[in-house]
Structures are given as C-alpha cells and as structure tokens.
C-alpha cells in the first residue's frame, strides 16, 4: 500500500506543489487545503501542481473540489499549471482545466513540467511588461502635467 505524500516549496515567482501516491478524493482535499495554507504564507500568484503516481480524478464537481480550488486562487491574476506523469492523469488534468476555465479560473494542463514553467514565467513577464507600460504612461502624464504647468507659469 502506497502512502500519499507531498512536497511544497516557494520558488522565485511561483509555488511548487508535488503530490505523490494520491488515491482518494479525501487525500486530494487534504493536499489542496495544505497548498492553500502554504500559499497564504508565500502569496504566490502562480502555482505548479505536479501530480505523480496518483489516480486520475474525473468527478471534480461531484466531490466539491472546485470549492477548494477557489480558495487556492489569490485573485483573477492567479494561474495554476497542472502536470501529470501518466496519460490518464494528463487526461484528467485536461478535463479539470476545461471545467476551471469555464468557471473563469486560469488553469492549464501540461504534460511536461518545463512547458508549465515556461507558461507561468511567460505570463509573469507579460504582467511585468504591462506594469512597465503603465509606469511609462504614468510618467508621460506627469511630464505632460508639468509641461502644461510650466507653460502657464511662463505665459
């Protein structure tokens, strides 16, 4: 009999949560509660859920697992990447991601961890670019206000 185990670590820019030997829905709930608790401490908006040697879950809504997922999301900018080590787990993750997206959650399924990390990092870089653009716009507005004030003073 395999015993469920997990490892959770705060990485630069994301929370990594690895799950091993999960057999039951109750074990899934326990894992999601723990990941949620850890993410409250580390406040990461990107989460990598890497599931290994575990049974696939297809009845997500029936077991109320989306309620736990909603708690895991820190907000609309939160992204969760699901990775599985078997074809069945990947199919399950594809289904979970589809259901989550239909509910407005930003979840994607990947077969390879490197692809998941690239998606998480690309999204962070995109967010940074948007922040940079906002900063440039704010700087431009401040400059225009100053230029307008200076022209009124010299007139």
Which sign does the torsion angle of CA 7, 10, 11, 14 carry? Answer: positive
Given a cut of 90, is residue 64 above it in pLDDT?
Answer: no
For a pLDDT cut of 90, what percent of the chain falls above it? 45
Reported confidence tier of residue 77, pLDDT bands at 50, 70, 90: confident
Domain count, the chain: 1
Task: Please give the model's pTM, rounded to 2 decimal places.
Answer: 0.74
As given in the structure block, the two tokens for residue 150 are: 């200076």
Q: CATH code at 31? A: 3.30.750.24
Q: What is the pLDDT of residues 88-146, one digit of tens each?
A: 999 999 998 998 888 888 899 999 999 999 999 885 555 554 554 556 566 667 777 77
Given a cut of 60, is residue 147 above it in pLDDT?
Answer: yes
How many other CB atoms are there within 10 angstroms of residue 106's CB atom? 17
Terminal-residue alpha carbon distance, the chain: 85
**Domain enclosing residue 27, as ranges:** 5-154
Query: How confident is the model at residue 133, as a pLDDT?
Result: 53
Separation CA 107–CA 69 (nearest Å): 10
More confident residue, 118 or 151: 118
Residues 32 and 64 sit within 8 Å (Cβ to Cβ) = no
Separation CA 93–CA 26 (nearest Å): 18
Q: What is the average pLDDT across 30-42? A: 91
- Where is 115: in which H helix or E strand? helix 113-154
86 contacts: CB under 8 Å, gap ≥ 6: 56
Q: What is the average pLDDT across 4-22? A: 96
Query: How confident is the model at residue 129, as a pLDDT?
Result: 47
Given a cut of 80, is residue 148 above it in pLDDT?
Answer: no
Query: How confident is the model at residue 145, as a pLDDT?
Result: 74
């Amino acid at each position: 009999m395999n015993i469920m185990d997990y490892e959770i670590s705060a990485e630069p820019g994301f929370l990594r949560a690895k799950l091993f030997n999960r057999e039951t829905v109750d074990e899934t709930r326990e894992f999601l509660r723990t990941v949620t608790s850890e993410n409250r401490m580390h406040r990461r908006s990107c989460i990598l859920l890497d599931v290994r040697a575990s049974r696939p879950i297809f009845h997500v809504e029936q077991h109320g697992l989306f309620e736990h997922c909603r708690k895991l999301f820190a907000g609309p900018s939160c992204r969760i990447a699901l990775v599985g080590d078997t074809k069945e787990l990947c199919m399950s993750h594809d289904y979970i991601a589809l259901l989550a997206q239909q509910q407005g959650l930003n979840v994607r399924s990947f077969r390879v961890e490197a692809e998941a990390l690239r998606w998480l990092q690309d999204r962070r870089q995109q967010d940074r670019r948007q922040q940079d653009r906002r900063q440039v716009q704010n700087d431009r507005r401040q400059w225009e206000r100053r230029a307008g004030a200076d022209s009124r003073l010299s007139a």
